[in-house]
Amino acid sequence: MRAFRLLPILLLTVLAACTATLPASVKRFQAMPAPTGQSFVIQPRDTAKSGSLEFATYANIVRDRLLAQGYQAAASAQAATLVVTLDYGVSNGRERVATRPGFGTGYGRGYYGFPYAYPYYGRGFYGRPAFYGSFYDPFWGSAFDAPEVYSYTVFNSFVDMKIARTGTNESVFEGRAEANTRSDDLTRLVPNLVTAMFTNFPGRSGERVRVNVPLDKQR
């Protein structure tokens, strides 16, 4: 009977360990004024993104974050006391070569030759963790098999955000959130990097922090 009472606790522990996260590096310099009615507008650093629906989508996420902090959305750029300059992007990717324990013949690989199924971090088959190059799973192969060399692509994504006072252009916030992932999907990456940027916002000036963003909580 005692084992049955412990079962729900064990299941919760396993589920917590398998939660997929995006590890992001966040660097911030700030002299943000406390929110006392300041209003803001958001504009792209790259003018080619002006009028872009994609940019508007990400800008709305930043807008919601600033509203939650107590700042107000300006009716127009002329009425704003703060201007937020936003940029984002992802690299073309770079190949990395690594080794893993060999899997012998017959078993050893998951579908399509890969023992993982989640495109970011944290989940392999049956909830087994698969973070960066840690793909070995005793279910699929033996540690006594010959090591296997494999390659994979890593993408570097980023979100840059600058906040300045209108009129004087005095900078009050400069931040950058970055992550290395196996995916280049900006529609998933940018919202999570914004979440990392606003974790404990505005943060301590000059400090670089590591933020693990749960991937099922993009906003």
pLDDT in tens, 95-134: 887 787 765 544 444 333 334 333 444 444 334 344 434 3
CATH class of 22-90+156-214: alpha beta
What's the predicted TM-score (pTM) here? 0.70
Query: What six digits make up the tokens of 39?
Result: 């209003």
Q: Which of 87-96, 174-183, 210-219 has the lowest mean pLDDT?
A: 210-219
User: Residue 94 pairs with which residues in a beta bridge?
Assistant: 154
Helices (H), 70-211: 186-197
Rounded Cα distance, 86 and 175, in Å: 10
